[in-house]
């Protein structure tokens, strides 16, 4: 596989994840919800907000990032397939572009699966106020997680994260 194609695939994947999460952040800001932290773990990337479980809000939090993911993923994979690098020979697949929308849709569903589950949980079992952030922290602590707090998160929530980590005997990364 040519180096430029490998670089394109890696950077495209990183851009896909970053733009998906950035869409979540922009939606939360648009609704006036401050961002607490960004968490990166083997499962993926999560952004924690001080937000409220309202159906219209969560519909935006599922649909818009999924739409961004679909468009970026389509462009990323389309360029990967049509770029004259020998990928067509490497994959040995004919008519790949005919299947591209279906493949991109499947990748979007997989990428947005956590958002869909979160939205269902938020709407069917809403948790209000500070208990929401504490619940999100408990979920994040189930696997090793790198947590990067925003300024707001450092002021209001970093001590809670550290306290939970100390109580569980784990070192929380910040």
Q: pLDDT confidence of 92, banded at 50, 70, 90?
A: low
Domain assignment present for 173: no
More confident residue, 119 or 155: 155
Q: Which residues pair with 173 in a beta bridge?
A: 146
Domain hosting residue 93, numbered range: 3-168
CA of 17: how far to CAs of 14, 24, 33, 99, 110, in Å?
Answer: 5, 11, 21, 22, 12
- Is 34 inside a domain boundary? yes
CB 45 within 8 A of CB 38: yes
Q: Please indicate, yes or no, if residue 43 is contained in any of the structural domains.
A: yes
pLDDT tens digits, one per residue of 13-32: 999 999 999 999 999 999 99
Beta bridge partners of 37: 48, 149
Exposed/middle/buried for residue 45 (C-beta within 10 Å: 0-12, 13-18, 19+):
middle
Of 161, 44, 139, the closest CA to residue 170 belongs to 161
Q: Is residue 56 part of a domain?
A: yes
Does residue 27 sit within a domain?
yes
Instruction: State pTM to two decimals.
Output: 0.83
> Which residues does 123 contact at the CB level (< 8 Å), separation at least 6?
53, 55, 58
Structural domain tally of the chain?
Answer: 1
In a domain, 28, yes or no: yes
Residue pLDDT, tens place only, 34-86: 999 999 988 888 899 998 878 899 999 999 999 999 999 999 998 888 776 55
Exposed, middle or buried, 4 (CB in 10 Å: 0-12/13-18/19+)? exposed
Position 90 scores a pLDDT of 52
The answer to whether position 35 is within a domain reads: yes
CA distance 76 to 68: 12
Instruction: Specify if 91 maps to a domain.
Output: yes
């Amino acid at each position: 596989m040519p180096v430029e194609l490998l670089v394109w695939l890696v950077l495209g994947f990183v851009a896909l994840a970053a733009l998906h999460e950035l869409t979540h952040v922009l939606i939360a800001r648009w609704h006036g919800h401050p961002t607490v932290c960004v968490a990166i773990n083997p499962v993926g990337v999560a952004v924690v907000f001080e937000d409220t479980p309202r159906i219209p809000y969560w519909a935006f939090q599922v649909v818009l990032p999924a739409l961004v993911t679909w468009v970026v993923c389509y462009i990323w994979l389309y360029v990967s397939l049509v770029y004259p690098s020998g990928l067509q020979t490497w994959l040995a697949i004919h008519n790949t572009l005919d299947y591209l929308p279906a493949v991109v849709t499947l990748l979007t569903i997989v990428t947005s699966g956590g958002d869909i589950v979160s939205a269902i949980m938020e709407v069917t079992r809403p948790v209000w106020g500070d208990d929401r952030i504490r619940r999100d922290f408990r979920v994040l602590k189930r696997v090793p997680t790198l947590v990067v707090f925003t300024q707001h998160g450092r002021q209001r929530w970093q001590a809670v994260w550290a306290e939970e980590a100390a109580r569980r005997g784990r070192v929380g990364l910040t």
